[in-house]
């Protein structure tokens, strides 16, 4: 089902009374994109917190590729989400905010890179494996129950494997050449595998006013957890921080430029498990609320 679940009870009541508080206070619409095996119901608390902080805000939780359908290839999902998000953007004269959780953060990057006229003000990446995923987690075992992380590349770095979303961002540091040759999503987004749209995608991505990266060491799913801040393993499984990544140095998709502009905010929070980022009030108040004006 392709639809947008619009959770805006306060705004509806105000509009019925002839008052649009969101317009009065200048709150921009917020669009939420869910993660792997998720759907709109996981974001009821987030929607409520947004309404409490900024009454009347138009909050759209996109109801698409929910639950098992979230395993579809990421480029397929990008196209589907694009069809639903773009009309919301067009109606928002002053722009919109994106909150994208887990795998949804990578879908949002695909949207931002390929939409030349998007009007996203804040892109909030909430515990998303922006530099890839490499780890034996419960979610991995659900998808590949008979494989350890060291063997997943046999499946993921194949034409069949690339039809699964998790394989689109599987980044085995011990199989670098295979990743660069086979990855048809993450390697392209990062500009690690050159392609003719790189310049245009970089230009599109840099239309955002603020990139907000949120993650923490107790996540338990994003592996390494530093991937939520564009850090990742080298061949020895030692963390290479964002600023020391090759694609950051080359500024291949605009991250270095955003950082230099002062438009990159990074938050590290301990004690938050992966499934609780979007329902944790401390996370919302401390990391998200200020960017939703």
Residue 102 designated active-site: yes
- Provide the Cα torsion 111, 116, 120, 126; round to 10°: 30
Among residues 34, 54, 229, 274, the one annotated as catalytic is 274
Residue 4 designated active-site: no
Among residues 60, 102, 113, 127, the one annotated as catalytic is 102
Among residues 97, 183, 219, 278, the one annotated as catalytic is 219
Residue 63 designated active-site: no
Rounded CA separation 97/148 (Å): 37
Angstrom CA distances, 151 to 103, 140, 144, 156, stand at: 21, 12, 10, 9
User: Catalytic site residues?
Assistant: 102, 219, 274
């Amino acid at each position: 089902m392709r639809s947008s679940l619009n959770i805006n009870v306060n705004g509806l009541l105000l509009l019925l009374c002839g008052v649009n508080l969101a317009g009065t206070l200048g709150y921009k619409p917020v669009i939420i994109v869910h993660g792997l095996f998720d759907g709109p119901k996981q974001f009821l608390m987030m929607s409520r917190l947004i309404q409490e902080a900024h009454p009347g805000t138009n909050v759209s939780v996109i109801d698409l590729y929910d639950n098992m359908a979230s395993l579809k290839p990421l480029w397929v999902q990008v196209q589907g989400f694009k069809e639903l998000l773009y009309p919301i953007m067009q109606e928002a004269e002053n722009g919109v905010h994106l909150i994208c959780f887990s795998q949804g953060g990578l879908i949002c990057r695909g949207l931002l890179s390929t939409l030349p006229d998007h009007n996203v003000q804040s892109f909030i990446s909430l515990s998303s494996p922006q530099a890839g995923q490499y780890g034996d987690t419960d979610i991995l075992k659900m998808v590949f129950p008979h494989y350890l992380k060291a063997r997943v590349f046999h499946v993921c770095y194949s034409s069949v494997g690339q039809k699964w979303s998790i394989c689109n961002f599987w980044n085995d540091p011990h199989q670098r050449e295979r990743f660069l040759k086979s990855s048809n999503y993450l390697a392209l987004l990062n500009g690690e595998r050159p392609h003719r749209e790189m310049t245009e995608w970089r230009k599109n991505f840099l239309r955002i006013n603020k990139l907000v990266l949120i993650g923490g060491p107790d996540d338990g799913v994003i592996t390494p957890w530093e991937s939520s801040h564009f850090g990742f393993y080298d061949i020895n499984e030692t963390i290479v921080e964002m600023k020391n990544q090759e694609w950051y140095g080359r500024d291949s998709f605009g991250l270095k430029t955003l950082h230099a502009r002062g438009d990159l905010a990074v938050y590290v929070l301990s004690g938050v498990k992966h499934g609780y980022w979007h329902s944790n009030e401390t996370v919302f108040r401390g990391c998200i609320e200020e960017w939703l004006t």
